[in-house]
């Protein structure tokens, strides 16, 4: 079996599970079946139970059937939750006797992609060691069939326990008098997201709630908050809430129709939690992609900032290691550790709305708590991903940028963990410097690797 894998897929896990083009390595029925066998062998065992959820993209049913087959053939029982958000799978896994959970999603990627996110029995994503063990199993030799077969259960309303948990987290919150635009990205939360805000009293303008398997994230959701922003302006809404395809991320739009950056949301969240006495250790966690302005605002408020690599899994690991209660990514992953084990777009929106209500403030007013440095994030499609240290033009540009920026700016270069792209963050107090170096880095990547168009 291992010989069937092209050389470039001998490493399966990226920053957020296994991801790629559906029906091409590594996102094939064969690999999905072996993921099921791996999870059964390493996490669940014969007689154990695994929860499976998926988003509505067209390839989800294929992967669901294959993963299920791998688990059942290994003697592991399966609970299919159907189309539910990623945080629902994490919640179902940790709130039941399940040994693991598997979410089939490519998150914010287009419908042609899909992926597998794996949770341990506590509802947290696997650490590096477990990911390596799962990967080794998948790429290794065939294993003997189990003497036992697992049983399959299908939940008729897989989201119900998760919705109950959301309502508990929102206890005492009234949204009466508020108008909200809720963009479900034609994704996993399309059936549940508008309803929970309505149940709390809000008038909801729901959009992108009719998935057809191919329109997930298409011109809507967290990657396209301008869609919700336009509706906020048309309807005079108080807030726009844009989820991504698996609803573990959220991007907000204020009442004027302006998109509020993820860093501003992190800042206002940390400040509000500190004021309540709920910011453990007076510290928050973010990634290397967060704006220097966030660091400045937190320092002024006496809040320590712990920085990790990219990926909400790394943020969560830092929260757990230090016992902290809040953190996230500027891409819209927010982790409220008192309520969830992973990023959760709906939960995060409820928490931000509570903060607005407590302060009797608009989101724009709360978000004015920090100054942002001008920033540009390049996301360049590339033909290959050679080691960054092997790219002479890009290395020279990086060294020159360091010398030019000094303490007034920074840059960060990395490959995407889920796509064939290189991502370059440029940040400086002077917007002209950001634009100049964006052009310089783009040219360097073109010379060293070549940019796909």
What's the CA gap between 193 and 241, in Å, rounded? 10
Contact 358, 316 (CB under 8 A): no
Q: What is the DSSP letter of 40?
A: I
Query: DSSP string covering 66-115, please?
Result: HHHHHHHHTT-EEEEEEE--HHHHHHHHHHSS-SEEEEE--TTS-TTEEE
Helices and strands per DSSP (H, E), number in the chain: 14, 19
Helix (H) or strand (E) holding 203: strand 203-207
Which of 60, 71, 65, 134 lies closest to 104, judged by CA? 60
Contact 370, 261 (CB under 8 A): no
- Of the residues 107, 331, 398, 416, only one is catalytic, namely 107
Angle between helix 345-359 and helix 86-95 axes, rounded to 10 deg = 100
- 107 is an active site residue: yes
Is 282 exposed, middle or buried (CB count within 10 Å of its CB: 0-12, 13-18, 19+)? middle
CA–CA separation, 109 and 115 (whole Å):
10
The 3-state DSSP class for residue 447 equals: helix
Would you report the helix, strand and coil content of the chain in percent, each value rounded to 5? 40, 20, 35
Cα–Cα distance, 70 to 28 (Å, whole number): 13
Q: Which of 182, 192, 70, 230 has its CA nearest to residue 134?
A: 70
In a 13 Å sphere around the CA of 154, the CA atoms on its Cβ side amount to: 7
Catalytic residues: 107
């Amino acid at each position: 079996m291992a010989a069937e894998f092209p050389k470039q897929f001998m490493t399966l896990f990226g920053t957020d599970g296994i991801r790629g083009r559906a029906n091409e390595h590594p996102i094939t029925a064969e690999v999905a079946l072996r993921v099921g066998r791996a999870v059964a062998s390493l996490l669940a065992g014969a007689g154990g139970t695994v929860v499976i959820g998926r988003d509505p993209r067209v390839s989800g049913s294929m992967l669901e059937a294959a993963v299920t087959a791998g688990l059942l053939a290994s003697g592991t029982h399966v609970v299919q939750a159907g189309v539910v958000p990623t945080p629902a799978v994490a919640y179902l896994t940790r709130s039941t006797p399940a040994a693991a959970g598997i979410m089939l999603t490519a998150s914010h990627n287009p419908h042609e992609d899909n992926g597998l996110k794996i949770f341990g029995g506590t509802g947290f994503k696997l650490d590096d060691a477990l990911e390596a063990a799962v990967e080794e199993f998948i790429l290794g030799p065939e294993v003997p069939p189990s003497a036992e077969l697992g049983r399959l259960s299908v939940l008729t309303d897989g989201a119900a326990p998760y919705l109950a948990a959301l309502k508990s987290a929102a206890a005492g919150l009234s949204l009466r008098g508020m108008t909200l635009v809720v963009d479900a990205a034609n994704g996993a939360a399309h059936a549940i997201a508008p309803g929970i805000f309505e149940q709390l009293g809000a008038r909801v303008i729901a959009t992108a709630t009719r998935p057809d398997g191919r329109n997930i994230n298409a011109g809507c959701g967290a990657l396209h908050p301008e869609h919700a922003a336009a509706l906020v302006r048309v309807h005079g809404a108080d807030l726009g809430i844009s989820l991504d395809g698996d609803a573990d991320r959220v991007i907000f739009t204020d009442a004027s129709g302006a998109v509020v950056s993820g860093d501003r949301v992190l800042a206002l969240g940390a400040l509000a939690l500190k004021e309540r006495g709920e910011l453990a250790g007076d510290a928050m966690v973010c990634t290397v992609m967060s704006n220097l302005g966030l660091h400045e605002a937190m320092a002024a408020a006496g809040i320590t900032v712990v920085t990790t690599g990219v990926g909400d899994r790394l943020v969560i690991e830092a929260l757990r290691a230090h016992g902290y209660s809040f953190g996230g990514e500027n891409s819209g992953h927010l982790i409220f550790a008192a309520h969830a084990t992973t990023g959760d777009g709906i939960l995060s929106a409820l928490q931000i709305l509570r903060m607005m209500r407590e302060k009797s403030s608009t989101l724009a007013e709360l978000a004015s708590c920090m100054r942002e440095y001008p920033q540009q994030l390049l996301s360049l499609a590339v033909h290959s991903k050679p080691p960054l240290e092997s790219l002479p033009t890009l290395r020279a540009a990086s060294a020159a940028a360091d010398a030019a920026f000094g303490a007034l700016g920074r840059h960060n270069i990395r490959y995407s963990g889920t796509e064939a792209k290189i991502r370059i963050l440029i940040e400086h107090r002077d917007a002209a410097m950001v634009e100049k170096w964006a052009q310089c880095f783009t040219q360097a990547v073109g010379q060293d690797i070549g940019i796909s168009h």
